[in-house]
Structure 1
Amino acid sequence: MDAERLIYPLMKHVVLGPAMRAAFRPQVSGLANLPDGPVILAANHLAFCDSFVLPLVVPRQVFFLGKHEYFTRPGPAGRAMAAFFRGVGAIAVDRSGGHAAQAALDAAARVLERGEVFALHPEGTRSPDGRLYRGHTGVGRLAERTGAPVVPVALAGTDRVQPPGRRVPRPGRIGVRVGAPLEIAGRDVREFTDEVMRAIHAMSGQEYVDEYAPRRENRS
């Protein structure tokens, strides 16, 4: 068992888990929909803390992509940050340059090929206004490549506990709804991605926008 696997249960059950449960009082439904074996969790994206909420409520270890910068900062503080992100299941991926998308897909595929759980946000970035935006086809391409089922997840309330610009979440109730698994079964990745987003929309109740969410650097 490597260091990350030793750190993960400590972070989830001793360090972060109790504090987050007390602060967020998560209301969770649909965990019985989570199958054994490789699973892709596809969730809406309302706040930075979304990536930490999923590992908190899902009984299996959840992996997700993290910015390369989180793992490479110098000094004791940088090493502590890297240990923290590895401990909660983050995988370092350099998303700069022309091969960024392929590097992310390869990293996610390796997790699924081990029979584990990988989480992503098909919108690609946090919603700027609480609405649900069109999904990027990475979720469909990952399902096509690995054969793993996609489980749609709807998060609620994370944008209230951590609105834009707030570094530390404030106490408040959040909700997590886990939907039934979806299989790509040879379908077109765009069609399948749209089906995943419809499932998230049905559970979240968000207004749906049939266009990609603007990246933060392009927002006014």
Structure 2
Amino acid sequence: MMYSLLKNTVVGPAVRRLFRPEVIGAENIPAKGPVIFASNHLSVIDSIIMPVVVKRQVFFLAKAEYFQGKSFKGRLTSWFMKSVGQLSIDRSGGAASQASLDTGVEVLDTGRWLCIYPEGTRSPDARLYRGRTGIARMLLQAKESVPVIPVVMIDTEKVMPIGASRPKPGRTGVVFGKPIDFSRYRTMHADRFVLRAMTDEIMSEIAALSDQEYADVYASTLRKKLDAAKN
């Protein structure tokens, strides 16, 4: 109820007025059943714009820090994140990482929509980076075969770049590709070669929809180098 109220009366109208998202390929989204949206990630507002242009609620896995603020702003952020379908995850690794995967699988096993950013973090320079295999693990752990919809966010980094405290008005876009069927992998052992093959196929489909330059390294690796260079 809260999600629909925010989307239809507050967030949705504001997003459409400020960012004027052009939507391409919405007909590729299945009308029912679980779906994983696999998206590039250019800006923090990707998780606000993309859900506004689809019919059903989309859940995201968001870092736990968004839910832990004790100040008024922190509590408001936590309330908003929960209200729009963001699910808190611990990204510290090990058992925490598996718990995060389990959260995503639970969303899929209950027939809901989940959006994953395979790059793992926002692109530091608007290029498309190597995908991490967590999305493939979810696909193989789900109780049934789940279609993957490749998604490309366009120009969101221009209306809210990394480091910006607030977005500015501007035209954006969302492109939905055709569903990718991974049912052929259901009987295979989830070794690193299978996981990498599935993830690379997803990233290849995202790249085909986008005009982004592809960099075959992890975005987090480059961000660490950039941060180190500043210090």
TM-score by length of 2: 0.88
> Partners in 2 of 1:87 and 1:217 — Cα distance?
32
Contact 2:90–2:97, Cα closer than 8 Å, also in 1: no
Structure 2 counterpart of 1:65: 61
Which secondary structure state, in structure 1, belongs to the residue aligned with residue 111 of structure 2? coil
Tell me the distance in 2 between the aligned counterparts of 1:117 and 1:185. 18
Q: Deviations over 1:29-84 (max 9, x none)?
A: 11111112000000001111111111111111000012222222225443322210
How far does residue 23 in structure 1 lie from its aligned partner after superposition? 0.5
Give the secondary-structure state (helix, strand or coil) at the position aligned to 2:77: helix
- State the AA in 1 paired with 2:175: R
Q: Report how many aligned residue pairs link the two structures.
A: 215
Aligned to 2:83: 87
Aligned to 2:203: 197
Matches within 5 A, 1:1-220: 6-35=1-30, 36-146=32-142, 147-187=145-185, 188-215=194-221, 216-220=223-227
Deviates further, 37-46 or 161-170: 161-170
Q: Does the Cα contact within 8 Å between 1:140 and 1:184 map onto a contact in 2?
A: no
**% identity of equivalent residues:** 48
Letter in 2 for 1:20: V
Q: Greater shift after overlay, 134-143 or 22-31? A: 134-143
TM-score, normalised with respect to structure 1: 0.92
1-structure distance, mates of 2:110, 2:71: 33
Counterparts of 1:98 and 1:141 in 2: how far apart (Å)?
14
CA 1:15–1:204: 2 relative to 1, 3 Å? same
Distance in 2 between residues matched to 1:144 and 1:98, nearest whole Å? 19
CA distance in structure 1 between the aligned counterparts of 2:121 and 2:74, rounded to whole angstroms: 24
Residues 158-198 of structure 1 show CA distances to partners (whole Å, capped at 9, x for unaligned) of 01001121021110010110011112124322111111111
- What residue number does 1:3 align with? none
Is there any run of 5+ residues in structure 1 with no aligned partner, and where?
1-5
Instruction: Please list every run of at least 4 consecutive aligned residues from structure 1 whose deviation after the TM superposition is greater than 6 angstroms.
Output: none
- Provide the rounded CA distance (Å) in 2 between the counterparts of 1:72 and 1:88: 16
Distance apart, 1:218 and its partner CA: 4.3
Contact kept in structure 2, 1:40 and 1:120, CA below 8 Å: yes
Distance 1:162 1:82 in 2: 20
Residues 144 and 186 in structure 1, CA contact (< 8 A), matched pair in contact too: no
**CA distance 1:97–1:134, change in 2 (3 Å):** closer
Q: Counterpart of 1:83 in structure 2: which amino acid? A: W
Decide which moves more: 182-191 or 32-41. 182-191
